Each structure stands twice: as structure tokens, then as C-alpha cells.
């Protein structure tokens, strides 16, 4: 508001005016100074507008630069997006073309397979028709009449392989010594096994190929068990495929378990058990011994599951090499023939735990081993039916004598396992057989061992095998007070009735 002087006001009016408007001191309303304060404020505002304008100018420039950068980024993003979309369309087009070509090739391949199969069936039927017509014409023709020759017949799906090695041993003129050296048994025993398994392993011929003969099937299995050769070498010897040899081994082992095990590996009946007891008592002086028991380990490749359970700490420490195994527990008669086997428990289990898992243990719990002792080593517990040696320190002469006789009986089982592993070398090293198939293979080895033992098949001295299985005394080695008294009574009788041996007389 423009301020002017008022000459018509008195001094008293001016005083009153200043009271109402104290800020008016800055104005010269008398007319002498004019608008001094207004001009001073305008000068101050003009002095302050310089820095503010610079700041505003800078902000405007920064804003414009940011907008320009955003526009450039947007343009660049659009270009990259268009390039990616073009590449994607190109790849999609190429994949669609490839898929179309692949489907077309599959369709053509299926058509070729169908046409080939159709031609094969037609050729087979034509050959059968020609053969039938030839047979009929030959039967009805006069002697000397010409018989139309059939066209050349091509065998399908069969690869020619060298079978000279097998033909040599399949020849009736091969000597028995040569055959025994190769198959760990005589020709007569081999022929008996083939006759027993004939109905279980025989296959029928087809129009495309002849079935593998029974003798060759059994020979593949026995050779594989006897030598432990890799399947690729077995394949070359017998002129068969690798997968075929593997299949034959499992089929024949399964047939041995099904057909031969009930005949050649059984728990003795009452009459046979009586004879077993008499033979053991005659050799050891210990009465009522119905069998000698031992547990051995068979090495395996580390399984894919539950590896720790199959880890064999004792064999690892002895061989300085990580070892995995499964157990084979067996009971034998005085001739070393297996009467009971328990196969397949993990190698980390001690002998007493394997025993508790066996069918023999269940049979004893049902009271079926009454008045029968099964002799074991110090790895088994002393029970009402398992007789083991004394294991504490400072043994008496009586206890020493007892341990010596127990050792003689127990050695029968250990020798049987040594012959088992010596004759069937596949048990000496890690096998290619899967873990789930291994019990069948090991059972077949035990059955074949029994057959050889019953038929008095001698084992070559070069095939002898030393068994190393550590014995760990169970934590609870005395399971029955009655059995402790019975063992002491047997030991007393051995010493005082002159049955302990010359060293203790």
C-alpha cells in the first residue's frame, strides 16, 4: 500500500497513530523520506534472487537430464526386448521344425519295423509251408523222384559266436580229469545234475532260434560259480551274450534252490540224527552232538543303501582295505554236508546275532532240538542246545581237554566252509551279482557242495582255501545255568573216562 504524508494531522494525532501502528517508524510519513523501507526491501529482494535462480536452474537441468536418461533406457530396453523376442521366435521355429522332423522319422521307422516284421512272418510261414509241402511230396513220391528244394532260409536275431571251447568239453570223448579240472566235478555228477534240472530249465525252440540246451545252461552256471570269471569272459567261452549268461546263472541257481535243495540240503530226520550223534560221539567222545556250526563272511561290493550295516570292520582292519560282506551260517554233519544254512545277514552283525535271526534258533525255541547239541566256537553263546568252549582265563586241565574236543568237532564245520569257498571261487571275491540275488546264488553253492560231498568228489589240493573269520565273544556268553552245569559234566566225563586225549591222560 502506498503511504503518503498527512500534513493536516496534529502532533497528538501522530502519537496516537504510532501507538496503533508501531512499525510505522520505518516510514517517513511526514513526506520527507518517501518510501524508504519499500525501496530497501526491494533492494534486499533483488540481492537474494541471484542464488535462488541458480539453484532453480540447476534443478531444472538435473530433471531434464534424468528424463533424457529414462528415455534412453526405455529405448534401449525396447530394443533388447525386441531382440530377445526375435531370438525366441527363431528358436521356437527351429524346435518345431526339429520336432516335426523327429516325429516324421519315428513314423517312418515304425512303418519300416512293421513292414520288416510283416515280411519276417511271411517268410517264416512260407518256409514252414515249403517244408511241409516238401515233406508231403517226399512221403508220397516214388523212389528216385526229384524233390523240389526249398529256398535259402535265413536265421534271424541270432549272432554267430565261437563255441569251440564249450564244444570241446561237451564232447563225450573229453577225459574225466579235464572235465573235473574245469567244472570242479566229474562228468557223472554233472550229468546227474542236468537230469535233475531238466524239467525246470528246459526251454522250447522257436521259429526264429533254437533254445539253449540244458547241458549248456547248467554248464554256464557251474563254470561261473566255480571260477568267478567275469561275465564277458564266460560269454566268450560259451558263445553266448553277456546278458544271456547272467540270466542263465540266476535261472539255474533258482532251479537248484527249488529242485535240488529239498533233496540234498535238509535237517536230519530222527533216524539220520541218531547216526549223526553216533559218528560225532565216536570221534570226539561228546554225546548227543547233532551238528557242527560255523559262520563265515562273503565279500560284496558296497551296497547303495544301508552301507554301514554291511561294513566289515574286522576284515577291513586285517586287509587294510575297506570291506563289505554278508554272512553265511551253516551246520554240518560229520561228513561236512550242510544240514542247515542261514544266508544274507549284514556283515556287521556278530555271530550270536546272526544265530538269533536264523530259522535254526526258531526251531530250537519250539523245542525241536531236544537232547541235541550244536557245537559252535567262542563267537556263539552257551545255551541249552549250543555247546561252546570255555573262554575265561586260567582254565583247568578238565576245561582244556573239553576245549580240545570241542575244537575237533567245530573244525568239521570250518573245513566244510573252506571246501565250499575253495570249490566255488565266486565266494572268495566281490561278485557282480546284485545283493538281492546273492542269497539264491550262495544257497546254490551250498547245495552243489553237498552233492559233491555225498558223491565223494575230491577237491584238488590247488583249490584249498584258508578261512579267516574273527571270533568275538558275546557280551552275554552264558545264557543258561543248566547248560553251564551240563558242559561241566561233559568236561568231567571226558577227562575221567579217558576220552580227553593223550595230552591229558
Condensed to tens digits (0 to 9), the pLDDT of residues 379-427 reads 999 999 999 999 988 889 999 999 999 999 999 999 999 999 999 999 9
Say if residues 265 and 450 touch (Cβ distance below 8 Å).
yes
Condensed to tens digits (0 to 9), the pLDDT of residues 442-451 reads 999 999 999 9
pLDDT band at 138 (very low <50, low <70, confident <90, very high): very low
> In the prediction, which pLDDT does 144 show?
40
Furthest CA-CA distance within the chain: 176
Specify the pairing of strand 373-375 against strand 289-300: parallel
> In the prediction, which pLDDT does 35 show?
44
Whole-angstrom distance, CA of residue 59 vs CA of residue 51: 13
Q: The dihedral of CA 15, 19, 25, 30: what is its sign?
A: negative
Condensed to tens digits (0 to 9), the pLDDT of residues 248-270 reads 999 999 999 999 999 999 999 99
> In the prediction, which pLDDT does 504 show?
42
Whole-angstrom distance, CA of residue 38 vs CA of residue 34: 9
- 298 forms bridges with which residues in the sheet? 326
Say if residues 382 and 479 touch (Cβ distance below 8 Å).
yes
- 382 forms bridges with which residues in the sheet? 478
Burial of 310-339, coded b for 16+ CB within 10 Å and e otherwise, reads bbbebbeeeeeeebbbbbbbbbbbbebbbb
Contacts of 144 (CB under 8 A, 6+ apart): none
> What mean pLDDT do residues 217-246 have?
94
Contacts of 172 (CB under 8 A, 6+ apart): none
Tell me how far CA of residue 408 lies from CA of 124, 285, 379, 402, 411, in angstroms: 67, 11, 16, 10, 5
Cα dihedral: 90, 92, 96, 99 (round 10): 110
Say if residues 209 and 158 touch (Cβ distance below 8 Å).
yes
> What mean pLDDT do residues 160-164 have?
80
Poorest-pLDDT segment among 43-47, 50-54, 97-101, 330-334: 43-47
Grid cell in block for residue 337: 554236508
Average pLDDT, rounded, for the chain: 83
End-to-end CA distance of the chain: 149
Q: For the chain, what percent of residues have pLDDT higher than 90?
A: 54
> What mean pLDDT do residues 112-141 have?
60
Residue 330 phi, psi dihedral angles, 5° rounding? -140, 150
| CB hemisphere CA count around 160 (13 angstroms) | 2
Poorest-pLDDT segment among 128-137, 411-420, 428-437: 128-137
- 291 forms bridges with which residues in the sheet? 374
Q: Say how far residue 162 (Cα) sits from the centre of its chain.
A: 33
Condensed to tens digits (0 to 9), the pLDDT of residues 491-505 reads 999 877 766 554 444
Amino acid at each position: 500500500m502506498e503511504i503518503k504524508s498527512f500534513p493536516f494531522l496534529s502532533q497528538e494525532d501522530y502519537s496516537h497513530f504510532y501507538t496503533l501502528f508501531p512499525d510505522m517508524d520505518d516510514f517517513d510519513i511526514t513526506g520527507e523520506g518517501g518510501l524508504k523501507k519499500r525501496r530497501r526491501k526491494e533492494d534486499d529482494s533483488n540481492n537474494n534472487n541471484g542464488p535462488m535462480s541458480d539453484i532453480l536452474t540447476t534443478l531444472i537441468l538435473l530433471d531434464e537430464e534424468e528424463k533424457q536418461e529414462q528415455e534412453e533406457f526405455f529405448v534401449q530396453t525396447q530394443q533388447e526386448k525386441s531382440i530377445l523376442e526375435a531370438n525366441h521366435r527363431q528358436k521356437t521355429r527351429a524346435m518345431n521344425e526339429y520336432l516335426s522332423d523327429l516325429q516324421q522319422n519315428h513314423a517312418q521307422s515304425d512303418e519300416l519295423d512293421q513292414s520288416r516284421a510283416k515280411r519276417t512272418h511271411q517268410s517264416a510261414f512260407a518256409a514252414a509251408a515249403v517244408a511241409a509241402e516238401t515233406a508231403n511230396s517226399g512221403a508220397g513220391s516214388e523212389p528216385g523222384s526229384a524233390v523240389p528244394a526249398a529256398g535259402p532260409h535265413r536265421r534271424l536275431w541270432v549272432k554267430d559266436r565261437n563255441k569251440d571251447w564249450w564244444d570241446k568239453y561237451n564232447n563225450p570223448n573229453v577225459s574225466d580229469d579235464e572235465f573235473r579240472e574245469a567244472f570242479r566235478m566229474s562228468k557223472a555228477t554233472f550229468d546227474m545234475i542236468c537230469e535233475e534240472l531238466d524239467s525246470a530249465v528246459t526251454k522250447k525252440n522257436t521259429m526264429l532260434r533254437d533254445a539253449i540246451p540244458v547241458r549248456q545252461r547248467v554248464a554256464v552256471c557251474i563254470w561261473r560259480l566255480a571260477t568267478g570269471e567275469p561275465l564277458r569272459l564266460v560269454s566268450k567261452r560259451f558263445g553266448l551274450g553277456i546278458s544271456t549268461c547272467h540270466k542263465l546263472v540266476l535261472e539255474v541257481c533258482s532251479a537248484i534252490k527249488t529242485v535240488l535243495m529239498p533233496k540234498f540240503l535238509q535237517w536230519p530226520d530222527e533216524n539220520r540224527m541218531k547216526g549223526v550223534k553216533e559218528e560225532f560221539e565216536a570221534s570226539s567222545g561228546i554225546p548227543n552232538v547233532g551238528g557242527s556250526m560255523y559262520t563265515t563272511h562273503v565279500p560284496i561290493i558296497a551296497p547303495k543303501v544301508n552301507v554301514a550295516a554291511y561294513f566289515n570292520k574286522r576284515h577291513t582292519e586285517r586287509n587294510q582295505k575297506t570291506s563289505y560282506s554278508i554272512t553265511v551260517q551253516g551246520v554240518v554233519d560229520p561228513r561236512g554236508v550242510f544240514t542247515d544254512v542261514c544266508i544274507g545277514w549284514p556283515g556287521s552283525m556278530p555271530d550270536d546275532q546272526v544265530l538269533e535271526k536264523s530259522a535254526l534258533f526258531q526251531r530250537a525255541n519250539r523245542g525241536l532240538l531236544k537232547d541235541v547239541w550244536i557245537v559252535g566256537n567262542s563267537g556263539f553263546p552257551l545255551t541249552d542246545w549250543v555247546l561252546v568252549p570255555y573262554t575265561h582265563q586260567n582254565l583247568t586241565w578238565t576245561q582244556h581237554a573239553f576245549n580240545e574236543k570241542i575244537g575237533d568237532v567245530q573244525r568239521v564245520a570250518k573245513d566244510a566252509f573252506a571246501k565250499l569257498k575253495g570249490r566255488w571261487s565266486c565266494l572268495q571275491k566281490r561278485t557282480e551279482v546284485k545283493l538281492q540275488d546273492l542269497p539264491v546264488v550262495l544257497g546254490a553253492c551250498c547245495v552243489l557242495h553237498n552233492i559233491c560231498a555225498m558223491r565223494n568228489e575230491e577237491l584238488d589240493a590247488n583249490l584249498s582255501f584258508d578261512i579267516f573269520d574273527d571270533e568275538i565273544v558275546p557280551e552275554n556268553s552264558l545264557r543258561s545255568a543248566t547248560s553251564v552245569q551240563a558242559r561241566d559234566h561233559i568236561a568231567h566225563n571226558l577227562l575221567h573216562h579217558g576220552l580227553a586225549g593223550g595230552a591229558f591222560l
